[in-house]
Structure 1
Amino acid sequence: MSRHSAVVGLFLSVGIAIQLSHGIEVNVLQEDGQLCLYANLMLNFSVTYQGDGEQFQTVVFPLPDYASSEESKCEETSSTLKLKFGDGHYWSVNFTLNEDSYQADTITFSYDLEDVQLFPNSASDEIVTVTQKAQISEIDLNTCYSCKSQDIIQAEGTTMTLWNVLIQAFIPDGRMSQDITLCAADAVTTTAPTTTSTTTTAPTTTNTTTTAPTTTNTTTTAPPVTNTTTTAPPTTNTTTTAPPVTNTTTTAPPTTNTTTTAPPTTNTTTTAPPVTNTTTTAPPTTTSPTPTLPPPSTGKYNLTTPNNTVCLLASFAVRISFTQAGKNEEMNLDPAVTKASGQCGENSSELELVSDQMTLTLAFTNDAKKFRLQVLNVTLKTSSGVFADGNANLSLWEAAIGTSYMCNREQNFNVTNLLSLYTSNLQVQPFEVKKDAFSTAEECQGDAESFLVPIAVGVALLVLIAVVVVAFFIGRRRNMATGYESF
C-alpha cells in the first residue's frame, strides 16, 4: 500500500476522566476511504536540556491537540502512526503484523532545541531524536489495545508518559473491533469477596403407611370407632409440602380376607395430621458500611542530582478521594511501600511516587520568583479497575524561590470533579535546596493564623494585667493621699 491520508480530532472520550494532557484521536484512512489505523491517546513529554550558563533545565509539556498525522501510513505488514507538532517536532509509533497478532515495535520522539517556545534559553540548536522499544506486544488481531494506566518511557534525558490509550492497527474492512486487549497494568484481577449463602433445606417428611398384618378368616365386630387426630407441632425454618393423605378405615366384615385390622377391640380411623407449612424468608442482606480509613502516614521523599546532592525535598501525608462508577472511594498513600523518582530542573521539577496501588506525578514550575505545583496526575488500581485523572493547570503550594512551602493542617484540593487531594504535615521545596535540608518555610494561611491567635491572646492578657496593675497603684496612691488629709 502507499502512504495514506489521516484525520485528526480532539479526544472527547466519555467515561475517561483524566485531563492532564490534550487528547488526540487519529483516523488513518486508505485511498478508498476505509479506516486502517485508529488511535486515541494522551501523551506528556518531559525534556531536560542544557540552558545558558551550563545549567540544565527541564520542561514538561503535552502533545498539542493540533498535532498533524498526515505522514501516518498503513501497509500490508507494517503501519506507522506519526504525529507532528510545533517547529519540527514529531512522535511516532511503528506497528508490525504477525500471523494472528500485532505489536508496537519502536517509539520515536524527535524535537528541535532551537524552538524557543518549548525550550527557552537553550544552549543548543540541534535536533534530538530518541528511540525506545515499545512495551506493547501480542495484541490479538482484530482487537483494540487499551491501556488507561501510565506507560512511562524514558530515553536520554527524555520522559514520555503515555496513558488512556486506545489503538487498533491493521483494521479489516474499515470497521473497528469492539473487542479489547488490555495492557498488563490494567488487567487487575479482582477477587470477589466470599459470600456465604445459607440455604435451609426442609427436612424430608417421610409418610409411612403401616399395613396391619393380614388376618385370615377372622370376623371382628367393630366397637364404637375412636377417631384420633394428631396435630404435628410447628416446624421452624422448614418448608414442608404435604404428601397425599391416606385415610385407612378398617372395618372387619365377616369372612373377608386381607382385611387390615387395628388392634383388638379398637378400630382406628387415622387421619393424616394437618401439616403446618412454614415458609422461612431469608433476612434481608445487610451491606456493611465501608470502614473509615485511618489517617494517612507522613512520608519523606527526596531527589538527588548525579553528584548525590539533594535537589528536591517533600514531606507530606496524602489521601486521595475519587469517584469511580458513581461510587465515592478513598485511598491513602502508604510511604512504607512507595518509591520516589523524577528529575530536577532550573525551571521545572517532577516528582513521581509509585506504590502498589497508586502512582502520583507532581510537576512544579519556577517563574524566577516563586514556585508552585502546576501538574498533578493520579493513577489508582482499585477493585473496580484502573482509575486515572489529573489536572495540568493548578496553582498550589506557592512560595518564593529559595524557601519551602509548609502547611501542617489538613488541606483539601478539588483537582477535578472526580478527584480530590487531601494533605497534612506538608512541606515541599522543589528548587534551590541547600545543605540537604528545607529552607525557611512560608506557611499556609491556616498555620499562620494558628500562631497569631495565641500571640493576640497573650498580648491582650499582658495589656489587661498592665491595666490592673496601673489601676491598683492609682487607687493606692489616692488612699494614701486621703490618709494624709485626715491628719
Structure 2
Amino acid sequence: MTLSRAFAALVIAWFADLGCIQAVTLEVNEGNSTCIKTELSATFSITYNTSSSTRTVQVSLPNSTTVDARSSSCGTAGSTSWLVAVFGSGHAMGLSFSTNGSLYSVANLTLQYNLSDTSIFPEANRSDVVTVVSPSVGIWATINTTYRCASPSTFRVDEAAVTFSDMRLEAYMPGNELSPTESICAADQASTTAPPTTAGTTTTAAPAPTPPGTPERGTYTVNNSNGTECLLAQMGLQLNVSYFSLSQNKTIQELVNLTPNLTRSSGSCEASRASLVLTQEGGTTLNFTFTLNSTSNKYHLSEITLFANWSDATAPFSFTNTSLDYLQSTLGRSYMCNAEQTLVVVPTFSLNTFKLQVQPFEVTTNQFATAEECQMDQDQMLIPIIVGAALAGLVLIVLIAYLIGRKRSHAGYQTI
C-alpha cells in the first residue's frame, strides 16, 4: 500500500497550526490510576472529494494532541475501554480495547476528520465530520505487558489509512507506568537478530520440525442473532509463518496445520461485511473478513488477521492485511476451490487452503448455494480434456496412415 502522495503546502500548513511530528504520549486515568497509556507517532492519509477531482492529504498526529476525558474510559476486565485523542479543528482518533483475561487487543480503530477544516481539506465538496472505523487491526499483547512496535504498521480505514510507528502501548494496566515486559510485534521480531551465545556455554539447536502434511478439512459456521447459519465454510488450512524460535535460536519458517476438532468458530454477519474467527487451542486465532460490493453484487475476502501466542516464540505476534482481494464470487453463490491455494497476507505470513468452499452472504437452508469454481480447478478440468483430445487425434492420424498404407500395398499386387 502506497501512502507517499501528499501535498507539501498542506502539510506545512498543518505543521504550522498543530505542531511538529514526534511521538505523542496519551493516558487515560481513573482517579489517581492510569489504565491506558501509549507512546506513538501516527500519520493519516485521507482521500476526499472536491467539486472537480479526488485528493489525498497526508497529515500527522501533532504533539498538541490531548485525551478527551469525556469519551475515554477505563472500562473493566469484562468491558470495552476507550482512548479518544482529539486534535486540530474537530479531528479525533479512537482506540477501543477488549480483553479475555489473559490478552488485551485493540478491538476498533476509529478516525474522525472534519472536512470543514480548509487548512487540511481545501475545496472539499462537503463540510461534515466523517467517522470511519476499522475492526481487528492486529494490535494485541498479553495482560501486564507492553505492546511494542517500532516498525511502521499501516491500517486501512475506509477512504483513509493510519500508519503507526514507534508505538508502545498498554491497556488494563495494574500500575501507572508501562510494563518493562514487552510483547513485540511480528515486524520487529523479523528484524531481531539472534542473541549471542555466552562464552563457555554451548547451545544445541533443536531439530527442524517435520512438515505437517495436508491439513484435515474442517467445517466452520457462523450463526446470526436468531440462531440460523449465515456463513458457511469448509476447508483445510495451513499457516506458513516466519518467527523467531526459542528452541532453534533463530528465525524459522514453519508450516502449521489447523486441526478442526481443536478449533472453534465464531464471527458476525452484516449486510455488506461478514467475519469468520477460528480459534485453535494453543494460542492461535485466525480472522477472515469478507466484503460485499452492493453495486456489482460481488464479494471477496478483504482481510486476514493472525494472532499467535506460541510457547516456542519469543513473544506473542500478529500479522494482518486489510486490503486483500481473494476468493471472489457473486452474491447468492458460494466460492469453491479444491486445488491448493496460497493466500499471501504479508511477506512473513501466508495461508495455504485445501478443498475450500465458502459462502459468507445469503446462506439459505444451511446449505451452500451453486458454486463458482476457481480458475485453478477449471484449468485442472481442462487438462484431461486437452490430453484426451490430443490422444484421440493421434489415434485418428495413426488409423488414417494405416488405411492409406494398406491401400497402397494392395495396389502393388494388382493382376496383369
TM-score scaled by length of structure 1: 0.47
For 1:355 and 1:323, the matched residues in 2 are separated by: 19
List per-residue Cα deviations over 1:78-100 (Å, max 9, x = no partner): 99842469999985779xxxxxx
For 1:164 and 1:406, the matched residues in 2 are separated by: 42
For 2:367 and 2:403, the matched residues in 1 are separated by: 53
Give the unaligned 5+ runs of structure 1.
1-6, 13-24, 43-63, 95-103, 116-126, 128-138, 149-162, 183-281
Aligned pair count reads 286
Matches within 5 A, 1:53-202: 70-73=66-69, 81-83=83-85, 91=94, 146=146, 165-167=169-171, 177=178, 179-180=180-181
Partner of 1:427: 357
Question: 1:400 pairs with 319, 330, 333, which one?
Answer: 330
User: Contact (CA 8 Å) 2:38, 2:168: kept in 1 or not?
Assistant: no
Q: CA deviation at 1:477?
A: 4.7
Partner of 2:387: 457
For 2:221 and 2:19, the matched residues in 1 are separated by: 40
Partner of 1:361: 287
- Percent of counterpart pairs with the same letter? 29
- Secondary structure in structure 1 of the residue aligned to 2:395: helix
User: Contact (CA 8 Å) 2:169, 2:178: kept in 1 or not?
Assistant: no
- Secondary structure in structure 2 of the residue aligned to 1:458: helix
Q: CA deviation at 1:388?
A: 1.3
Larger radius of gyration: 1
For 1:422 and 1:459, the matched residues in 2 are separated by: 33
List per-residue Cα deviations over 1:132-164 (Å, max 9, x = no partner): xxxxxxx9xxxx76368xxxxxxxxxxxxxx98
List per-residue Cα deviations over 1:108-128 (Å, max 9, x = no partner): 99999xx9xxxxxxxxxxx9x
Partner of 1:346: 271
- Secondary structure in structure 2 of the residue aligned to 1:415: strand
Question: 1:327 pairs with 222, 241, 251, which one?
Answer: 251
Q: Cα–Cα, structure 1 residues 459 and 36, in superposed 2: closer, same or farther, change >3 Å?
A: closer
Question: 1:411 pairs with 341, 345, 351, which one?
Answer: 341
For 2:325 and 2:305, the matched residues in 1 are separated by: 14
User: Contact (CA 8 Å) 1:8, 1:26: kept in 2 or not?
Assistant: no
Matches within 5 A, 1:380-399: 380-383=308-311, 384=313, 385-399=315-329
Partner of 2:193: none
Question: 1:313 pairs with 228, 232, 252, which one?
Answer: 232
For 2:60 and 2:408, the matched residues in 1 are separated by: 86
- Secondary structure in structure 1 of the residue aligned to 2:316: strand
Question: 1:466 pairs with 370, 388, 396, which one?
Answer: 396
Q: Cα–Cα, structure 1 residues 168 and 463, in superposed 2: closer, same or farther, change >3 Å?
A: closer
User: Contact (CA 8 Å) 2:35, 2:171: kept in 1 or not?
Assistant: no
Q: Cα–Cα, structure 1 residues 476 and 429, in superposed 2: closer, same or farther, change >3 Å?
A: same
- Secondary structure in structure 1 of the residue aligned to 2:323: coil
Partner of 1:371: 299
1:486 is the counterpart of 2:410: no
- Secondary structure in structure 1 of the residue aligned to 2:394: helix
For 1:10 and 1:319, the matched residues in 2 are separated by: 41
TM-score scaled by length of structure 2: 0.54
Q: Cα–Cα, structure 1 residues 460 and 109, in superposed 2: closer, same or farther, change >3 Å?
A: closer
Q: Cα–Cα, structure 1 residues 71 and 165, in superposed 2: closer, same or farther, change >3 Å?
A: closer
For 1:431 and 1:178, the matched residues in 2 are separated by: 43
Aligned-residue RMSD, C-alpha: 5.0
For 1:373 and 1:417, the matched residues in 2 are separated by: 18
Q: CA deviation at 1:423?
A: 1.9
Give the unaligned 5+ runs of structure 2.
1-17, 42-58, 76-81, 98-103, 116-130, 132-142, 149-166, 184-199, 245-249
For 2:90 and 2:39, the matched residues in 1 are separated by: 23
User: Contact (CA 8 Å) 1:378, 1:389: kept in 2 or not?
Assistant: yes
Matches within 5 A, 1:35-50: 38-39=37-38
Structure 2 counterpart of 1:340, which letter? S
User: Contact (CA 8 Å) 2:35, 2:174: kept in 1 or not?
Assistant: yes
Q: CA deviation at 1:285?
A: 6.6
- Secondary structure in structure 1 of the residue aligned to 2:242: strand
Q: Cα–Cα, structure 1 residues 398 and 26, in superposed 2: closer, same or farther, change >3 Å?
A: farther
For 1:110 and 1:415, the matched residues in 2 are separated by: 23
Matches within 5 A, 1:10-21: none
For 2:299 and 2:368, the matched residues in 1 are separated by: 15
